[in-house]
Amino acid sequence: MAVSCCSSTIDFDSIPLTALNFTVRKKLALYLNPKHVSAADWTALAEAMGFEYLEIKNYEQYQNPTKMILENWQGTSTQATVGKLLEMLTAVERVDVISDLQGLIEEDCRKYLKKKQLQEQPVQVPEVDSCVPKTLEMNGITIDDDPSGHMPELFDAFICYCHRDIDFVHEMIRQLEQTECKLKLCVFDRDVLPGTCVWSITSELIEKRCKRMVVIISDDYLDSDACDFQTKFALSLCPGARSKRLIPVKYKPMKKKFPSILRFLTLCDYTNPCTTSWFWGRLAKALSLP
């Protein structure tokens, strides 16, 4: 499937599904996750992709089944291209989705083709182009990242924590990643590859790779320069908390004064016995918002 775009034609059949970024996938989920009486939803798309009945039933347990079928399809099928996806959406009579997302899809495909073209160009010798770095610092920075940068690894939340609070981070992983919540957390010591500039990579992850940031507040947090930088950087991206980007979490009693820069944000308090039973559900819901 090809369409005319500006002065060129995009051959969608030759572009892998990995070219579609987080924004397009999120909008696809908004269209296809809800059950419709008059329009096909994600289950019809899953059938078109070749998933069996039991597999589709299993996907129903996920909060975002559209995201899951897209990821599994692109990981198991050689036919997982943008063109094939558009063909299947047409077959299940969801042309409305294609019409609304066409501009975003074309933009992602143009970016993919541009990066591919740059990679295929011969590398200039240092004497000719010594001022240009030979590797892109922001590509391949996490465990499951795409080294070429075509599909950077994305997360629901960056976890800002002091190393002495690592036990609570492990509990957070169990409650939010390994349950039906199925959230994806960015835990620096687990997910970031060694050998990169800490401050540059941290800024990249908070600003571009993570929808939100969870700040684990403790007495030790207040003494951490890294936590201080991460918190202030995240606050600079969302003045006035307009995007609900920053979520402070208090998980144990503190002797020191609560940080004043976070006082205006709604606290998720694990130390309050009256609300402990609701803690993980509230936090998961906050991290699941668009």
Least confident interval from 34-43, 227-236, 263-272: 34-43
- Asked if residue 138 has pLDDT above 80, the reply is no
Please state, in angstroms and rounded to a whole number, the distance separating the CA atoms of residues 166 and 221. Answer: 11
- 3-state class (DSSP) for residue 108: helix
Other beta carbons within 10 Å of 271 = 13
User: What pLDDT was estimated at residue 116?
Assistant: 77
Tokens matching residue 11: 């051959």
Q: Is the pLDDT of residue 134 over 80?
A: no
Report the mean per-residue pLDDT for the chain: 85
pLDDT of the residue at 230: 92
pLDDT-derived band at 260, boundaries 50, 70, 90 = confident
Helix (H, G, I), strand (E, B) or coil at 43: helix
What average pLDDT does range 136-141 have in this prediction?
Answer: 74
Q: How confident is the model at residue 1 (pLDDT cuts 50, 70, 90)?
A: low
Per-residue tokens: 19: 């070219």
How confident is residue 223, by pLDDT bands cut at 50, 70 and 90?
A: very high
Asked whether the beta carbons of 188 and 226 are under 8 A apart, the reply is no
Task: Return the pLDDT at 113.
Answer: 87
Q: Which residue has the higher pLDDT, 280 or 262?
A: 280
Question: pLDDT grade, residue 240 (50/70/90)?
Answer: low
Q: Pick 132 or 126 by higher pLDDT.
A: 126
List pLDDT tens digits, range 37-96. 678 999 999 999 998 888 898 888 888 999 989 988 887 777 889 999 999 999 999 999
Q: Tell me how far apart the alpha carbons of residues 195 and 163 are, in angstroms, rounded to a whole number.
A: 19
pTM above 0.95, yes or no: no
| Plot region of 197 (φ>0 → left; ψ -120 to 50 → alpha; else → beta) | beta
| DSSP summary character for residue 258 | P
Closest CA to 204 of 154, 243, 246, 247: 154
Residue 282: per-residue pLDDT = 94
